[in-house]
Amino acid sequence: MSAGELGYSRDNQPGKLQIAFGISVGLNNIPTMLTIQKGNVQDKKHMQMLIRLCSSVLPEGSLLVFDCGGNTQDNKRRIRDLKFHYLTLKAKKKGPYRNEITIYHARKESQVSFVSGNRVYSCVKYRDGEEVRYIFFCDDLACDQLTKKARKLEKDLEKGKVLTKKVERGKDLGQYIAPEGWIIARGHLQKIIGDIPNPYVTGLEGFFVLESTIDDDPENILNAYKNRDRAEKFIRDLKEGAEPGRSGTGPNTR
């Protein structure tokens, strides 16, 4: 019986059988629990299965570390009901993140700074109910993200040059079939004064927010979250060896 299943593929290979991995890692970084599901199971759904299994193999008070793919209110509630702790990344949505950034700037007196991985981070933490929010900012990270977005804009502008020539010559930009016939795409150049603003720049660059039920030093929290990569690297090694269509990781545990 095949463990794989055809379906949506993140690596754009829907013809390949997909398989989803979930892994739990103990203090010695040796895998203590592995789950495998057929097909490309959504992270949030796969996370629910992992949480149920964690209740059978982990002691109370364990810390589950996972990324924003499994960060839902329901998953966090399940974790707390099982008397575990969690550490997770807040999904980077503009509205909620701008609120967090406002809090970050409003509490400058409580900011702490430290060096991790040759990068300087500053952080503001505050409590929201039983959850502690850690708002991080890294200038080097912001520069990296802005550089990538600048390159992306440059590529778009190069494509735009080709389309501009077609518009100026009155040529069609594309044709699309429809039940009633063909849709002909034609363009119109709307000129602006000054430089083109980069539409990919959101103002969130360099910021990220971690959510946890653990109240600790920001440096310890960041290092704990970074250590989840050990499980991801393990899964990548499995993927390269077994060549499944997709692999995903669940929570690390401490």
Q: Which helix (H) or strand (E) holds 183?
A: strand 181-185
Residue 216 forms part of a structural domain: yes
Q: Is residue 2 part of a domain?
A: no
Residue 33 has φ and ψ, to the nearest 5°, of: -155, 135
How does residue 245 score in pLDDT terms, banded at 50, 70 and 90?
Answer: very low
Bridge partners, 134 (sequence order): 125, 210
86 within domain boundaries? yes
Closest CA to 75 of 98, 54, 99, 96: 54
DSSP-derived pairing of the beta strands 63-66 and 252-253: antiparallel
Q: How far apart are CA 36 and CA 250, in angstroms?
A: 11
pLDDT (0 to 100) of residue 168: 87
Q: How far apart are CA 184 and CA 54, in angstroms?
A: 55
pLDDT in tens, 168-204: 888 888 888 999 999 988 888 888 888 889 999 999 9
Whether residue 214 lies inside any domain: the answer is yes
Q: Is residue 108 part of a domain?
A: yes
pLDDT exceeds cutoff 50 at 163: yes
Q: Where are the alpha helices (DSSP H) in the chain?
A: 43-57, 73-81, 94-106, 139-168, 218-226, 229-242
Using one digit for the tens of pLDDT, what is the confidence trace for 211-229?
999 999 999 999 999 887 6
In-domain check, residue 35? yes
Q: Give the domain range for residue 84.
A: 19-138+210-253
Domain count, the chain: 1
Long-range contacts of 108-116 (CB under 8 A, 24+ apart): 112/217, 112/218, 114/218, 114/219, 116/219, 116/222, 116/223, 116/226
* Cα distances (Å, whole numbers) of residue 178 to 54, 118, 172, 181: 50, 55, 17, 5
Tokens standing for residue 190: 């709307």
Give mean pLDDT, residues 98-120: 95
Please report whether residue 181 resides in a domain: no
pTM higher than 0.85: no
> Cα(137)–Cα(123) distance, rounded to whole angstroms?
6
- Contact criterion met (CB below 8 Å) for 100 and 172: no
Strand partners, 38: 19
Residue type, 180: E
pLDDT band with cut points at 50, 70 and 90 for residue 21: low
202 belongs to a structural domain: no
Query: Are 216 and 96 contacting, i.e. CB atoms less than 8 angstroms apart?
Result: no
CA distance 49 to 239: 21
Q: In which residue are the tokens 């699309």 written? A: 176
Parallel/antiparallel/unpaired status of strands 112-116 and 131-138: unpaired
